[in-house]
Amino acid sequence: MKVLHVVGARPNFMKAAPVYHAIARRGHVQTLVHTGQHYDNFMSDVFIQALELPTPDESLNVGSGSHAQQTSAIMSRFEPVVLKHLPDIVLVYGDVNSTVAAALVCSKLGIRIGHVESGLRSFDRSMPEEINRLVTDQLADLLFTPSSDGDENLLREGISKEKIFLVGNVMIDTLIRLLPKADEIFPRLRAQYQLDSFGLVTLHRPSNVDEESTFLPMLQVLDELSQTLPLIFPVHPRTRQKWSAELQKCNPNLRVIEPLGYIEFLALQKNAKVVVTDSGGIQEETTYLGTPCLTLRENTERPITLTQGTNVLVGRDWEALRNHFNEALNGGALPKGRPPLWDGKASERIADILASRLQ
Ligand code: UD1
């Protein structure tokens, strides 16, 4: 069996790594293609190293651009690469532009597609990721879902039951594998930041960071909350580029730092009193870790983190943010538990399904 994996953006690496390792253990031929959607050392290389992925066999170096520019550049550079390797299946991950671009190329070439982290829906088509999820799932031949809401969404969209496999969450496979390393380095991080008690913030969604009328009030509330609990804020390049002057004006309790590596960020997530974010993956990681998560979005494609985890949608309701933040500091509501099949073995299940389907 020949498997080709497509990765491109930061959230792809932790999803692809466990699947790559599980397939390697079964001795199949694999090719890793990096589209170059994310290209900074701290958005890409540090993840590949920490996750023990090999150096990509093929790098498409597409870089940044508008959605159309980026997606079309990936498509035109990926086509000759996939034709050169002629895999039995191409695995795509999550919902980024690299995911949908590779799926479109393969579907026209008649090459089978497996979508890992399939079926998630925010029902908000103003999010570029929702379009990427909808299109990729329509094109995929094997759809691997992290939770049963994914299966329900896919069935409702007319996808046949035989193509859908509830396997659990591959990102949690990586988290479980690397948690001991995160625990090992945490004392060093605590000494570095000189913080016993802290919260963690990430913000990068266009809907939150692109407009002044949205981002500046958000930053002001975070600045205020950091007076109660110091906040560490690793800043995504998109946010940094746009707001570097405003970020510098924040009070010193809002620690604006460069993006962190996977293991460092995991250590902080586990030990934070509360996480404030607009990321998708962080909603899942905090649910597994039992860390309260306040999501600055009106919706989530990961509703299981609300019903079975520690996530609360606060949107742009600053009063709700203040209240939930204080509740988290005071011990707050107890974590609800962990979703089924978030057990560290999702990638093993994927590798077994691929082997039985493709041979
Ligand atoms: C992408 C994904 C998003 C994911 C996020 C995680 C899509 C549509 N969006 O958003 O779902 O949550 O990755 O990080 O695929 N930039 C750099 N260096 C880099 C990468 C980006 O400086 O290595 C800057 C560029 O100015 C770029 C901007 O960040 O234009 C945005 O990057 P892009 O890949 O377009 O989208 P993300 O916001 O990172």
For 319-355, write each residue's pLDDT tens digit.
999 999 999 999 876 667 899 999 999 999 999 999 9
| Alpha-carbon gap, residue 307 to 188, rounded angstroms | 34
- Which residue in 28, 115, 204, 324 is the catalytic one? 204
CATH topology (fold) of 2-168+342-357: Rossmann fold (3.40.50)
> Could you tell me the end-to-end alpha-carbon distance of the chain, in angstroms, rounded to an integer?
7
Question: Which ranges in the chain are annotated with CATH 3.40.50.2000?
Answer: 2-168+342-357, 179-329
97 lines ligand 1 (CB under 6 A): yes
Q: Which atom of ligand 1 is nearest to the CA of 99?
A: 15
Whether 204 is a known active-site residue: answer yes
- 222-265: pLDDT as tens digits: 999 999 999 999 999 999 999 999 999 999 999 999 999 999 99
- 78-119: pLDDT as tens digits: 999 999 999 999 999 999 999 999 999 999 999 999 999 999
CB 164 within 8 A of CB 186: no
240 lines ligand 1 (CB under 6 A): no
The CATH number that domain 179-329 falls under is 3.40.50.2000
pLDDT at residue 359 above 80?
no
Per DSSP, the three-state class of 117 is: coil
Q: Which atom of ligand 1 is nearest to the CA of 11?
A: 6
Instruction: Compute the Cα dihedral for 309, 315, 320, 326 and give only its sign.
Output: positive
pTM of the prediction?
Answer: 0.97
* Per-residue tokens: 251: 């009070």
Pocket test for ligand 1, best of 14, 131, 204, 209 (most atoms within 8 A of CB): 204
Going from the Cα of 337 to the center of ligand 1, the distance in angstroms, rounded, reads 31
The values of phi and psi at residue 286, to 5°, are: -65, -35
CB 346 within 8 A of CB 171: no
Q: Are strands 2-7 and 89-93 parallel, antiparallel or unpaired?
A: parallel
Going from the Cα of 230 to the center of ligand 1, the distance in angstroms, rounded, reads 27
- 275-303: pLDDT as tens digits: 999 999 999 999 999 999 999 999 999 99
Question: Which residue carries 């039951």 as its tokens?
Answer: 161
Pocket test for ligand 1, best of 10, 15, 37 (most atoms within 8 A of CB): 37
| Alpha-carbon gap, residue 115 to 159, rounded angstroms | 13
CB 34 within 8 A of CB 56: yes
Q: How many CB atoms lie within 10 A of CB 203?
A: 21
